[in-house]
Structure 1
Amino acid sequence: MNKNVKIPIIFLILLTFGSTLIFFGSRNDAVTVAKSIKSGVLTADEINVAFQNVGGKVLTRAVQESQQVKKGDVLMVLEDTDTRLAIERLKAVIAGQEASVRQEESAITIAENETNLSEVATWRNIEAVQASLDAAKSALDFANTEYQRHIQLRKAGGVSQSQLDNTRNTYIAAKMTTVQLQSQLSTLTVGASTEQLQQFSKTKDATGMTLQSIINARHTIKNRHNQLAQLRAQLSQSQAELEQLEVNYQRLTLVAPEDGKVLKIMYEDGELVPTGAPAVLLETNRKYVDIYVNETMVNDYQPGTTVTANVIALDKEVSGKIRFATAAPSFADLRMTRERGQADLTSYQVRIYVDDIPNLLTGMTIEVNDAKHH
């Protein structure tokens, strides 16, 4: 056969044979793989464990990298000298503030009792002054009568001038006593209403009378109550600061928030840890796998649905629960050449949290079988 004819025929035969294999065999293209196998690499949630609102020098590292820890296990401890001294100082301040509050409470109680006693005593004093005033007025009337009688007798020569002078002095003294008692009564009854004074003039009973001196004393006590409230507020503030310091003291000990494996420890013994800086990287036992499905399959993977998958390395099945199904980034979309007449398909990311089984490690390949999806 002519060489120029033989070579094209051979190429035509090979092309036909290859096309037949491609058409009837597995293409391993994106569409075929997405329809036949739903697989992904097992991943675990990682968390950065940090000292909350505290920092300081590392005193103890209680764990090492790759060590398995349980929730509550101590990971790292910071030096506590400064915080402990601050707590002791604040406790001393609080003790002094509590003593000031108790002292002011006692002083207010004493002042209130003394004011109540003074009010009653003043009422009785008013009554006594009123009685003395009534007696003084009677004495004044009598002295005035005697004085007028002695004036007439002196004119008639019935008494001497010295007797008249004595009578006049007695009258003047009685008059001065009346004025003094009247002034004293007016001073004691300052603050009383007109109705109260009229009632007192009839009954001679001062009980219940409003007195300005007592009003002033009670205003003073009210101001002392305000001072007491301020002292209590300062005490409450100090107690809150103490509580915060005690919380910070507990936070100097870093504990594992959940079960997992220590991946990395950021600080060595003696190093300074800044406030809020991550100190330990922890791989949790919450393991998941992400698979990608096209838009025609996503309705079969609703959140909360239970699936079973195969762990290839262990040749075991594991159960899992779908957490979410959401549109994947554009790079995961299937851009077809339409060799089979299909349009471009949008991919969806499905995250499945799997149950923990022995020897299950992150990085293992997990395959979700459509036939076992329910």
Structure 2
Amino acid sequence: MNMPKNIKIPVIFLLLLLLGSTLIYFGSRNDAVSVAKSIKSGVLTADEINVAFQNVSGKLLKRTVQESQHVKKGDVLMVLEDTDTQLAIDQLKAIIAGQEAAINQEQAAIKIAEDETNLSEVSTWRNIESTQANIDAAISARDFANTEYDRHTQLRKTGGASQSQLDSTRNTYISTKMSVIQLQSQLATLMVGATPDQIKQFAQTKNATGMTLQSIINARHNIENRQNQLAQLRAQLAQSQAELKQLEINYQRLTLTAPEDGKVLKLMYEEGELVPTGAPAVLLETDRQYVDIYVNEKMVNDFQPGTSVSANVIALDKTVKGKVRFATAAPSFADLRMTRERGQADLTSYQVRIYVDPIPHLLTGMTLEVDR
């Protein structure tokens, strides 16, 4: 059957259009929802960390690793020159030794001062008692001299004593009287600081033990001041010890070690270069590997944090286990805005991150398909 050319061409286009529409309707359209429904896949990625020298800087002495080398936690990566830090440590240790000697000297001096003060207190109590006894004896001598003087005065009036005898007894009386006054003044000086009750009790008992003495109070105040000086010396020592500890920590930090297992991606400095404080020195790809997949809101409940999942490694044809770390709303560009030819409403996409267990030959960049 021959069709006219002007009819045959439109019919062919109509048939092709009908066939294409049928294939599009029944086939995969490769949009976000269609892919999410059929294949939940992503590219394996590893966490990367920048390893830096903490609070130290200096000339790079040596590098102990190379790019692409796998390292274990604690392996040495780089070492800085330690000359200046070691000198500072030695100098500070000498200062600390001097401070410790000064503290020991001050402690010994305070102990000696305390012993001397205690001894002086007891000695002063006994001296007070001795002075009081001397006063009592001097008063007896004065009273006797006074009696003799009065007797000689009467005898002189009756001619029973000469003027020289009277003058001698008078001088003796005056001398003993002045001796009493001198001893009483000495006793008053020794008893400075004593309370009226203590003085009254001493007058009755003649025992000065326990009496408050101003000289002893002053001596103990001086000891307290020396204790303050000792506390200051100890504070200075503690500060120096803290500085030494910091220097020793900084000395350890001159050696840069791997914080965890991983592969060295990049070394930022060559031997001999100056490394500034806090600047990243090594880029390390850790052994913590994950894959990100995107699912719609109808599927996100199957991927709650902590959920265990399995995934197929296409390149290795092996299955790995993993655990969902988080599921969060993806950026708006990942949302599906439907044309509604299938009667679906707009759907929000969710980013699901799954950390996988390591297996041999599993490399970053490989594609994983999540089974769930």
- Rounded Cα–Cα distance in structure 1 between residues aligned with 2:26 and 2:332: 30
Q: 1:292, CA displacement in angstroms? A: 0.3
Q: Tell me the TM-score normalized by structure 2.
A: 0.98
Q: Which runs of 5+ in 1 are unaligned?
A: none
Match of 1:366 among 348, 368, 371: 368
Residue by residue, what CA displacement relative to the aligned partner does 1:71-103 show, whole Å, maximum 9, x if unpaired? 000000000000000000000000000000000
| Matched letter for residue 167 of structure 1 | T
1:52 aligns with 2:54: yes
In structure 1, what is the equivalent of residue 304 of structure 2? 302
In structure 2, what is the equivalent of residue 263 of structure 1? 265
In structure 2, what is the equivalent of residue 75 of structure 1? 77
Residue by residue, what CA displacement relative to the aligned partner does 1:307-356 show, whole Å, maximum 9, x if unpaired? 11000111111110100111111111112222212111100000000010
In structure 2, what is the equivalent of residue 10 of structure 1? 12
Residue by residue, what CA displacement relative to the aligned partner does 1:263-318 show, whole Å, maximum 9, x if unpaired? 00101001111111111000000000000000000000011111110001111111
Identity over aligned residues, as a percent? 80
In structure 2, what is the equivalent of residue 90 of structure 1? 92
1:347 aligns with 2:349: yes
Residue by residue, what CA displacement relative to the aligned partner does 1:230-254 show, whole Å, maximum 9, x if unpaired? 0000001100100110000000000
- Rounded Cα–Cα distance in structure 1 between residues aligned with 2:255 and 2:349: 46
Residue by residue, what CA displacement relative to the aligned partner does 1:21-48 show, whole Å, maximum 9, x if unpaired? 2222222222211100000000000000
In structure 2, what is the equivalent of residue 272 of structure 1? 274
Q: 1:212, CA displacement in angstroms? A: 0.5
Q: 1:155, CA displacement in angstroms? A: 1.5
Secondary structure of the residue aligned to 1:213 is helix
| Matched letter for residue 127 of structure 1 | E
In structure 2, what is the equivalent of residue 331 of structure 1? 333
Q: Which runs of 4+ in 1 moved over 4 A?
A: none
Alignment of 1:183-198 (within 5 A): 183-198=185-200
Match of 2:176 among 174, 177, 185: 174
- Rounded Cα–Cα distance in structure 2 between residues aligned with 1:86 and 1:24: 78
- Rounded Cα–Cα distance in structure 2 between residues aligned with 1:96 and 1:150: 76
- Rounded Cα–Cα distance in structure 2 between residues aligned with 1:294 and 1:24: 21
Match of 1:147 among 123, 145, 149: 149
Secondary structure of the residue aligned to 2:184 is helix
CA RMSD of aligned residues (A): 0.8
Q: Tell me the TM-score normalized by structure 1.
A: 0.98
In structure 2, what is the equivalent of residue 158 of structure 1? 160
Secondary structure of the residue aligned to 2:207 is coil
| Matched letter for residue 156 of structure 2 | R
Q: Which runs of 5+ in 2 are unaligned?
A: none
Q: 1:9, CA displacement in angstroms? A: 1.2
- Rounded Cα–Cα distance in structure 1 between residues aligned with 2:259 and 2:305: 26
Residue by residue, what CA displacement relative to the aligned partner does 1:164-206 show, whole Å, maximum 9, x if unpaired? 1111110110011000000000000001111111110111010
In structure 2, what is the equivalent of residue 107 of structure 1? 109
- Rounded Cα–Cα distance in structure 1 between residues aligned with 2:6 and 2:155: 184
